[in-house]
Amino acid sequence: MSQDVIIIGGSFAGLSAAMQLARARRDVLILDTSAPRNRYAATSHGFPGQDGQSPDAITAALRAELSAYATVQIRGAEATAASRRGYGFVVSLSNGEEITGRRLILAYGVRDTLPYLPGLRERWGASVLHCPYCHGYELNRQPVGVLARNEMAMHQAMLLPDWGPTTLFTQGIFEPTQDQRQTLAKRGGIVEEVPITGLVGPAPALEAVRLADGREVLLAGLFIAPQTAPSSDLGAMLGCEKKDGPTGPYLAVDGTQATSVPGVFAAGDLASPMPNATLAAAAGVLAGGAAHRSLIFDPDLTESA
């Protein structure tokens, strides 16, 4: 049976989109691989009404709410291909099955590429972090560091003194200007030119970082800006336009979360230069409503694909 809307990705954005469509009594199929980007984090912070809950608990609550709507299905399946067919779309699954839908909402998120550094990966999401608004408060104003990968490190270093004494580790990759050094110093931050060679302490906690000259610098948290990329090639297969963000490419959308391909919408980290749980859920609400209106006002996708 063809669905009104197929949603690819079942985390905050995809589930929020499904809720809008469910309440319009539309047939919705959510495809989810249960590998969200936030699976490494024990808690989610800054999400109104859910502060301090685990991402799994938030997702479970959203799924429970959706279970009250008879027109919504959730399948643990991987979408491997998608294309336009007639007045809608066909999606291929990893088991060889094909399903069809009149609209698509892409909400499969992004994947992170982390720099190589001994001890870093096993601390990702716990004491090696990317967002001070999400995780900084819990560090209790203890010393924190920024691991430079590019000029974004300066932006992070300027923010972080509100959460703890901050050291910017340039790693020989980024060289702050004299003006930048002075500005950071006014915030109480310092610059360390000797590169980090390893992380110290029982993972996933962090006690210090070890430098190339043998020194150890006490830290409770190390912040990085990971490189990101869409976790699936489906957007590219469909011909959706991309934009370059500060950490990597993301799908271009308009104010309703519509992509450049008629009938295809995108929400969450996949379609934003600023990853954030609350923004992902809000974008899902927009995408779900826009997909519903598209079904009503452009039922045959008359615009060229």
Are the C-beta atoms of residues 150 and 174 closer than 8 Å to each other?
A: yes
pTM for the model stands at: 0.93
What per-residue confidence (pLDDT) applies to 36? 79
* pLDDT higher than 70, residue 138: yes
The residues that bridge with 111 in the sheet, in sequence order, are 229
3-state secondary structure of 135: helix
CA 29, 33, 38, 44 dihedral sign is positive
Domain boundaries, the chain: 3-112+227-297, 115-223
Percent of the chain with pLDDT over 90: 82
Q: Judge if the upstream peptide bond of residue 204 is cis by omega within 30 degrees of 0.
A: yes
State the pairing for strand pair 249-251/242-244. antiparallel
Cα-flanking dihedrals φ and ψ of residue 100, to 5°? -125, 150
Buried/exposed 213-244: b ≥16 CB within 10 Å, e otherwise: eeeebebbbbbbbbebebbbebbeebebebee
* pLDDT higher than 80, residue 195: yes
Q: Which CATH number is correct for 115-223, 1.20.1260.10, 3.30.1390.20, 3.50.50.60, 3.40.50.720?
A: 3.50.50.60
Quickly count helices (H) and strands (E) in the chain: 7, 19
* pLDDT higher than 70, residue 115: yes
Dihedral, 232, 233, 236, 241 alpha carbons, nearest 10: 30
Condensed to tens digits (0 to 9), the pLDDT of residues 10-27 reads: 999 999 999 999 999 999
What per-residue confidence (pLDDT) applies to 305? 38
Condensed to tens digits (0 to 9), the pLDDT of residues 58-89 reads: 899 999 999 999 999 999 999 999 999 988 99
What is 3-112+227-297's CATH number?
3.50.50.60
- How far apart are the C-alpha atoms of 289 and 209, rounded to whole Å? 47
